[in-house]
Amino acid sequence: MKNIELYDTTLRDGSQTEGISYSVYDKVRIARKLDELGIHYVEGGYPLSNPKDKAFFEELKRKPLKNAKLVAFGSTRRAGTKPEEDAGLKSLVASGARTSTVLGPARARGPAREPRGKP
């Protein structure tokens, strides 16, 4: 039997809901409750996006979760920037999270083509 691991995005996706604005205190309390409930991965947000997310990661560096793995969310490097110089990637490393989710572009290179052959 395979194990199922749970990945929670409440602190990032949930905070994008109209009328929701988590404080740093709220985010820390929610993360600790998710940890207590047995969630395996807790995505904390994008450390470069705003001061609250940065402060959240700083707080969890000081007092880490007991069981869950903290995840930082970010994107691939900006075009024309070396990875080691990219502020977004540097923020993922500086966050203290040992796991990151990195969103990258998913677009085709070149013009769209018609499928080959007959249906």
Ordered domains of the chain (ranges, CATH): 7-103 (3.20.20.70)
With contact defined as beta carbons under 8 Å apart, do 99 and 61 qualify? no
- Rounded to two decimals, the pTM is 0.81
pLDDT of residue 89: 93
Residue type, 65: L
Per-residue pLDDT of the chain (119 residues; tens, 9 = 90+): 889 999 999 999 888 888 888 999 999 999 999 999 999 999 999 999 899 999 999 999 999 999 999 999 998 888 888 889 999 999 999 999 999 999 887 765 666 555 555 55
pLDDT of residue 81: 86
pLDDT of residue 110: 61
With contact defined as beta carbons under 8 Å apart, do 89 and 63 qualify? no
Would you state the structure tokens that stand for residue 32, as one six-digit string? 């600790």
